[in-house]
Structure 1
Amino acid sequence: MINGTLCAAVFAIFLTTAAYLVHFFLGLGYKISSESSDWGQFGDYFGGVLNPILSFIAIILLIKSLNFQNEANISLRDQLKNNEKVEMVRTFSVLFFNVIVSQKTLLKDLQVNLGSESSPIEVTGTAAILKVEREVEDLRNRGADNAGVTRYLEQIDNLDHIFGMLRSFYVAVKLVSDRLSDENGFDISDRQSQYLALVNLTDFAQIRLILMGIQFMKCHYSSYMKGNHEFLETLESVNLRTDLY
């Protein structure tokens, strides 16, 4: 584009000069004048014809230069935005997998009381989850409603281990929702892939206990996850729900 514009400028200069020579020297037979006034008139002619043409060409070059600068600025902005997104993903990954490690620690430390106050029976880990599931199924078979199951979970979770596990899982879900939001340049597929990773990286017995907590526990954490439609859709994609019991 620039080379073509420069060629057009040179051609305009050549054409203007050639037209003058052809008209006055070849057509009218004039000779080269020694009068300064004649040369002044030639300068007026030359400038009057070429100035608008060269000014127009200069404007074209200026516009082209501005377009190049604008394209460079857009590329720079895109690069900065991409760098911000990469840094955001890196920070998110560190926090996300720290929560995953925390979940594993909570499962290891899980302890519930399946006995009575006078005769406590402390059960830990995955065995505790299996026991709780059987007890909840028995309660349901005996006609217990949601409130009855909620009271049972509050009774056995005297150390708030189930509640703590539910809270930790909520932190992971909210981390995905907030850090990978549309406003930060992500979309629903990015979030759902991380929800799926969260579910798959959580022990299956533990995820069942968390879903039980979401279903029966009355707290902000369970309410938030029940209202997170993207998270619920991810659960359904792996045949899990928040109303298993």
Structure 2
Amino acid sequence: MMSKDLEATKPQLSVGIVKVFAAALIAAGIAALAYMLYFSLYVGRRISTEPDAWGQFGDYFGGVMNPIIALAALGLLAVGVRIQNDTLREAKKQLNLQRAELEQTRAVLSKQSEQLQLQAEAAQREVFEATFFRLMEALRRLTESFEATSRSRGIGAMFEWAVQLRDHAHGQLRSRQLAPDGAASVLASWYPTHRPKLSSYFALVLMTLEFIEKNNRSDAIFYTDILRATFSPGELFLLFHYGVGESGNHRFKALAEKYGLLEAFDPEDFDLPGERRLWYSARRISRDYTAKLATLSAAEEREVGG
């Protein structure tokens, strides 16, 4: 755009030069004509053939033309300066317009980038939640398929197994002097007969925790709380002992501690010492739903805007 403006100033400059030189030529012609008329009409002399006379005429003509040419050059300079100022003013105006357009473009691109980022996050969240709730559904169906006796199924079966584990080995789990490794030994002696049923359950719970952990979401605690809310007392009892001791599942215990998965477990509900809950460290991340609520709010706004 600026190059077009500069091209547009070339005709103006050419016209200015032509005008200045035309005025100079006219002035020169008038001066020469006045000289000739003066000597021809008033003095009564004809055109001389003497070189001296023509030298005097040249001096006269130069004396008249020099100021005219100087004035013409000054006028030409003034025209050039004016045209240059106009060009610079127009260029500055165009630069300001381009700057404004760039700012508008930058704002539009920034908004589009934010929208694309929100859409990408929404898509990732949808994929994550679809997988998470499929895992939850698989865990629910697996739990419902358990049968301890003809009368205890599902979470009832889990509760009955928890009581069997508590009373196994003459009820050693009730002892206040029992250490985590002792509890792990009790579980190891009881678990083989229930491995075909409970191994898939423990593996699925751990898989769900690993899935949440690997996605590294800011609202991970929200989903682990959903998982924790589905556990019955019998499940909490079995999961609690699944991670204790040197022979326990250390990865499960680390994730359970991080997300406070077993916070709802109360040993005293199963007639165990209350201090047994100290076998698991306190939750290591904050239960803050601010990020999750902000995400849900943004999703609702997009749905309304769409």
- Contact 2:242 2:249 (8 Å CA) reproduced: no
Aligned-residue offset at 1:223: 4.2
- Contact 2:158 2:234 (8 Å CA) reproduced: no
Give the match for residue 106 of structure 1. 142
1:243 and 2:279 matched: yes
1:148 and 2:182 matched: yes
For normalisation by structure 1, the TM-score amounts to: 0.63
Residues 1-245 of structure 1: matches in 2 within 5 Å? Answer: 36-37=19-20, 41=76, 44-110=80-146, 124-135=157-168, 138-142=171-175, 143-158=177-192, 159-160=194-195, 161-179=197-215, 181=216, 186-187=217-218, 190-216=219-245, 217-226=247-256, 229=258, 231-232=259-260, 235-236=262-263, 238=264, 243=279
Q: What CA distance in whole angstroms lies between the structure 1 residues aligned with 2:169 and 2:222?
A: 31
Aligned-residue offset at 1:44: 2.8
Q: 1:205 to 1:223 in 2, by over 3 A?
A: closer
Q: Return the letter of the residue paired with 2:171.
A: D
Q: What CA distance in whole angstroms lies between the structure 2 residues aligned with 1:137 and 1:69?
A: 77
Q: 1:215 to 1:239 in 2, by over 3 A?
A: same
Q: Gaps spanning 5+ residues in structure 1: where?
A: 1-32, 113-122
Q: Return the letter of the residue paired with 2:127.
A: T
Q: What CA distance in whole angstroms lies between the structure 2 residues aligned with 1:101 and 1:133?
A: 28
Q: Gaps spanning 5+ residues in structure 2: where?
A: 1-15, 23-74, 149-155, 267-276, 281-306
**Percent of aligned pairs sharing the same letter:** 9
Larger Rg: 2
Q: 1:174 to 1:126 in 2, by over 3 A?
A: same
Higher RCO, Cα 8 Å, sep 6+ = 1
Give the match for residue 117 of structure 1. none
SS in 1 for 2:234: helix
Give the match for residue 63 of structure 2. none
- Contact 1:96 1:172 (8 Å CA) reproduced: yes
Q: What CA distance in whole angstroms lies between the structure 2 residues aligned with 1:105 and 1:151?
A: 30
Q: What CA distance in whole angstroms lies between the structure 2 residues aligned with 1:235 and 1:207?
A: 7
Q: What CA distance in whole angstroms lies between the structure 2 residues aligned with 1:198 and 1:127?
A: 21
SS in 2 for 1:176: helix
Deviation digits for residues 22-45 of structure 1 (CA, Å, limit 9, x no counterpart): xxxxxxxxxxx9x72379947534
- Contact 1:173 1:225 (8 Å CA) reproduced: yes
Q: What CA distance in whole angstroms lies between the structure 1 residues aligned with 2:109 and 2:253?
A: 45
- Contact 1:107 1:126 (8 Å CA) reproduced: no
Aligned-residue offset at 1:62: 1.4
Q: 1:235 to 1:129 in 2, by over 3 A?
A: closer
SS in 2 for 1:193: helix
More moved, 130-139 vs 61-70: 130-139
Aligned-residue offset at 1:146: 2.5
Q: 1:54 to 1:225 in 2, by over 3 A?
A: same
Q: What CA distance in whole angstroms lies between the structure 2 residues aligned with 1:47 and 1:137?
A: 108
For normalisation by structure 2, the TM-score amounts to: 0.52
- Contact 2:243 2:253 (8 Å CA) reproduced: yes
- Contact 1:166 1:210 (8 Å CA) reproduced: yes
| Alignment coverage as a number of residue pairs | 190
Deviation digits for residues 200-225 of structure 1 (CA, Å, limit 9, x no counterpart): 12334213321221224523432432
Q: What CA distance in whole angstroms lies between the structure 2 residues aligned with 1:222 and 1:163?
A: 13
Q: What CA distance in whole angstroms lies between the structure 2 residues aligned with 1:225 and 1:194?
A: 13
